[in-house]
Structure 1
Amino acid sequence: MLHVVLVEPEIPPNTGNIGRLCLATDTHLHLVKPLGFSLSDKELKRAGLDYWKDVRVSVWESYAELQAAQSADARYFYLTTKVQRPYWDEQFRDGDFLVFGRETKGLPEPLLESNRDRCLTIPMTPQTRSLNLATSVGIVLYEAVRQLRKS
């Protein structure tokens, strides 16, 4: 099973849409606090439709807590606009964690610096600063799913 991690997500409809993506791909969604909304937020549930109750979701107090709860050989990939290595160059495996940052700031710089060899990007034209978080998750998650179904 794949894992999607949202570190400090801020916008409820993005998280709701990502929850639907996770349900559609049998992926575990991990939310790392602080969250910019309540899990009972109407916007979150509206975006997740009536699927939200079926999403496999875990909420963590910190990113360190999430990592400590996983096996030592878990692989984490950090999505960022600050590197050149495209996501499609990675060979994803069952059990991988795809880690995304909050909508306004992305992932913390120290986290990226300490994991440079696991940072990936979604290539885009220079005129584009970034993509919507739910769109980004969908792009990378479905590439991982495609690779796993192909192998």
Structure 2
Amino acid sequence: MTNHIVLFEPLMPANTGNIARTCAGTNTVLHLIKPLGFSTDDKHLKRAGLDYWDKVKIVYHDNLPAFMATLTANDDLHIVSKFALRDYASIDYNQPERDQYFLFGKETTGLPEPFMRQHPDECIRIPQNDEHIRALNLSNTAAIIIYEALRQQSFPQLERVHQYENDKLK
């Protein structure tokens, strides 16, 4: 089982850099669907990702249909949208034989409405107060969801207590 964060036409380099850093720390594959709203050489992108870029597996896709064509019958697609009816925490992400893909829309407009209408059963949301904000920050949303998946999966291949801390407890 592998977890994947997929960004549809991301616009803000700092968000993508922060998400890349989260991917590096969680062994999550990062997928970027073109066109990107920045250069991958962008100084803000590199600064947000710090020196972790070589620790992130990044897959580029020319467009949304090209990404969708890579999914197999053994993959679970979760489309993250504030318009979804299902709560992200109500989904079982602990499916050992299945890869988990979390697809996030563009910061300004989300995912194309026709695409969303074609996939209502795959849509999930993080509860929020819609009266106060339009949407949560993309990098925060990605972190919330990937850590829920990892929690359900018992944090596979992640160090839960540093050896130094472990030695102090003895």
Q: How does 1:1-150 map to 2 (within 5 A)?
A: 1-92=2-93, 93=95, 94-126=98-130, 127-149=132-154
Letter in 2 for 1:119: C
Alpha carbon RMSD of aligned pairs, Å? Answer: 1.4
Q: Give the Å deviation of 1:83.
A: 2.0
Q: Give the Å deviation of 1:121.
A: 0.5
Where 2:41 maps in the other structure, the secondary structure is coil
Q: Give the Å deviation of 1:125.
A: 1.5
Q: Return structure 1 stretches of 4+ with deviation > 6 angstroms.
A: none
Q: Give the Å deviation of 1:69.
A: 2.4
Taking structure 2 as the reference length, the TM-score comes to: 0.84
- Comparing 2-11 with 123-132, greater Cα deviation is found at 123-132
Q: What is the CA–CA distance in structure 2 between the aligned matches of 1:68 and 1:84, rounded to whole Å?
A: 25
Q: Give the Å deviation of 1:150.
A: 7.1
Q: What is the CA–CA distance in structure 2 between the aligned matches of 1:69 and 1:116, rounded to whole Å?
A: 20
Where 2:60 maps in the other structure, the secondary structure is strand
Q: Give the Å deviation of 1:72.
A: 3.1
Letter in 1 for 2:116: L
Larger radius of gyration: 2
Taking structure 1 as the reference length, the TM-score comes to: 0.95
- Comparing 126-135 with 18-27, greater Cα deviation is found at 126-135
Q: Give the Å deviation of 1:63.
A: 1.6
1:43-64 Cα shifts (integer Å, max 9, x gaps):
1000000001221101110122
Letter in 2 for 1:132: N
Count of residue correspondences: 151
Letter in 1 for 2:72: S
Where 1:149 maps in the other structure, the secondary structure is coil
Identical aligned residues as a percent: 42
Letter in 1 for 2:92: Q
**What residue ranges of structure 1 are gaps of 5+ in the alignment?**
none
Q: What is the CA–CA distance in structure 2 between the aligned matches of 1:95 and 1:74, rounded to whole Å?
A: 5
